[in-house]
């Protein structure tokens, strides 16, 4: 191995370590931000996570199904927790990071994926959607793929919400105000104030 190739390998290793450290730093900031939430946001997170778990379990009959895979409980728990955190981030969001109707699509898609991933039996949503596939392919490939994709989508949605909040409360170094969606309606609209003075 000559010196140039060894230097190239060291540079690539440093770049890889830099990405890993940046990712770990980002996760640390997200964790600190979650720990700083007010009790009302934490309570909303718990309520939303419980409601999400109840919805997924009731839609796919996990309470009555005898052939449910062991990992279904883990997937529902993790997905419900992520959904609760995303929905909890909608309450008390700082100005500039208010929840919009567009923000609700990611938890809805994630929960739909969880229902498909954890449903068991013949008359379920997954069996109906993938009627032509063999049961072994459905339970061994399709449903685990839906589970991983749903958890990844919910994790991404949470990370984006936390990043939006961080950008809303952090001063910008270059004076940029950030991206603002002009077509989204607020999820919790405020009442407009009076349009005129006392004579109006």
pLDDT at 199: 47
Neighbours of 146 (CB within 10 A): 22
Distance CA 100, CA 83 (A): 16
pLDDT at 38: 81
Distance CA 82, CA 152 (A): 10
pTM score of the predicted model: 0.72
- What confidence tens digit (pLDDT) does each residue in 16-62 have? 556 666 666 666 777 777 777 888 888 888 999 999 999 888 887 76
- What confidence tens digit (pLDDT) does each residue in 135-175 have? 777 777 888 898 999 999 999 998 888 888 877 777 666 65
- What confidence tens digit (pLDDT) does each residue in 97-143 have? 677 777 788 888 998 888 888 887 676 777 777 777 777 777 778 88
Distance CA 122, CA 193 (A): 55
* The 3-state secondary structure of the chain, one letter per residue: CCHHHHHHHHHHHHHHHHHHHHHHHHHHHHHHHHHCCCHHHHHHHHHHHHHHHHHHHHHCCCCCCCCCCHHHHHHHHHHHHHHHHHHHCCCCCCCCCCCEHHHHHHHHHHHHHHHHHHCCCCCCHHHHHCCCCCHHHHHHHHHHHHHHHHHHHHHHHHHHHHHHHHHHHCCCCCCCCCCCCCCCCECCCCCCCCCCCCCC
Distance CA 33, CA 102 (A): 23
């Amino acid at each position: 191995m000559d010196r140039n190739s060894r230097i190239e390998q060291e540079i690539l290793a440093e770049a890889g370590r830099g990405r890993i450290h940046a990712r770990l730093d980002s996760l640390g900031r997200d964790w600190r931000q979650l720990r700083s939430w007010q009790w009302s946001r934490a309570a909303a997170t718990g309520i939303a996570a419980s409601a999400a778990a109840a919805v997924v379990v009731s839609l796919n009959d996990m309470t009555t199904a005898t052939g449910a895979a062991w990992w279904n409980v883990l997937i529902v728990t993790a997905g419900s927790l992520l959904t609760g955190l995303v929905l909890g981030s909608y309450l008390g969001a700082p100005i500039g990071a208010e929840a919009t109707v567009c923000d609700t699509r990611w938890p809805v898609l994630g929960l739909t994926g969880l229902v498909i991933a954890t449903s068991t039996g013949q008359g379920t949503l997954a069996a109906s959607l993938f009627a032509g596939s063999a049961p072994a392919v459905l339970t061994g490939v399709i449903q685990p793929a839906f589970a991983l994709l749903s958890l990844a989508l919910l994790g991404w949605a949470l990370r984006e919400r936390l990043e939006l909040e961080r950008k809303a409360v952090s001063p910008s170094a270059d004076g940029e105000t950030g991206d603002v969606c002009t077509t989204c309606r607020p999820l919790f609209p405020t009442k407009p104030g009076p349009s005129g003075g006392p004579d109006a």
